Amino acid sequence: MRIAFFSTKKYDRDSFSSLVKDYGFQIDFLEAKLDHQSAILAQGHDVVCAFVNDQIDSKTLEILSKEGVKLIALRCAGYNQVDLEKAKELGIRIVRVPAYSPEAVAEHTFALILTLSRKTHKAYNRVRESNFSLEGLTGFNIFQKTVGVIGTGAIGRAFCKIALGFGCKVLAFDVMENAEMKKIGVQYCSLDELFARSQIISLHCPLTPDTHHIINKKAMEKMKDGTMLINTSRGALIDTKAVISALKHGKVGFLGIDVYEQEEDLFFQNLSEQILKDDQISRLMTFPNVLITGHQAFLTKEALHQIAFTTLENIAAFASDSELVNEVKA
């Protein structure tokens, strides 16, 4: 079984190479991002392994199908980058990693909250320059704040537990309410009520047509002035243009994002010697109350190991014609 592995980084090589010998597969690691231009590199391979910002649209799928690819193994949870209807039409099956380390993303989410609330990133830079002044570093307690959680899947639930551990009151919105969360003190409510009551709002829902720009101008108008908004889920959950306006007018008091709706041309690469052509993220980086990380919330040793293991198990199940428990269908 030959696997064309797109969007390869060093940590991918390390985590997959340590396990693949147990499966007998051949992985060809490719640095190129998967799209209709690079899809031809899958020639001679049975399986394609893709990541979150690979473009698996209709044109890409047609090329992969012509090259004989029958399985696309996503090494991520999200699958909004895949044209599932076209994949079904071409007979290409799609598998994913639905849960690798919910705690990794949840902990990073809280790291963003704590950094913004206590300004430790600014303090770090000051002390490096022998500036020990505390002026401008006044923060606020997380204890007893009302935290709104949109989406209580595996990551959302892990985040709720951390927030409760900090002594927060936790509100949640999800189309499927979770009995375990209710039992430990999470209060489910409508989305409008969550917007109106929360001082911190964290997004943990998938990107679907229904959740696209779930945080838009109207949603932010319902929030308290100075609300902290955190997104470690999918970039397009937030209308970037609208949140820039809300930051300028003080409706959003703090913004922490690990994802960005136009990130596919930015994240996972070193652009330090280039001029950014994306005016919106350039504008976001000028705000002193905005913290951006480059889609690293998943990046822990434990998560990488689980991603590699589940991905290889998915491929092994396909190779043996077994049930694909992590298959995504149109």
Which residue in 295, 305, 323, 327 is the catalytic one? 295
56: which strand partners? 82
Report CA torsion sign: 9, 15, 17, 22. negative
Q: Is 263 a catalytic residue?
A: yes
Q: Which of 204, 234, 261, 313 is catalytic?
A: 234
Instruction: Please confirm, yes or no, whether 295 is among the known catalytic residues.
Output: yes
Assign 3-class secondary structure to the chain. CEEEECCCCHHHHHHHHHHHCCCCCEEEECCCCCCCCCHHHHCCCCEEEECCCCCECHHHHHHHHHCCCCEEEECCCCCCCECHHHHHHHCCEEECCCCCCHHHHHHHHHHHHHHHHHCHHHHHHHHHCCCCCCCCCCCCCCCCCEEEEECCCHHHHHHHHHHHHCCCEEEEECCCCCHHHHHCCCEECCHHHHHHHCCEEEECCCCCCCCCCCECHHHHHCCCCCEEEEECCCHHHECHHHHHHHHHCCCEEEEEECCCCCHHHCCCCCCCCCCCCCHHHHHHCCCCCEEECCCCCCCCHHHHHHHHHHHHHHHHHHHCCCCCCCEECC
Whether residue 264 lies in the annotated active site: no
Q: Catalytic residues, which ones?
A: 234, 263, 295
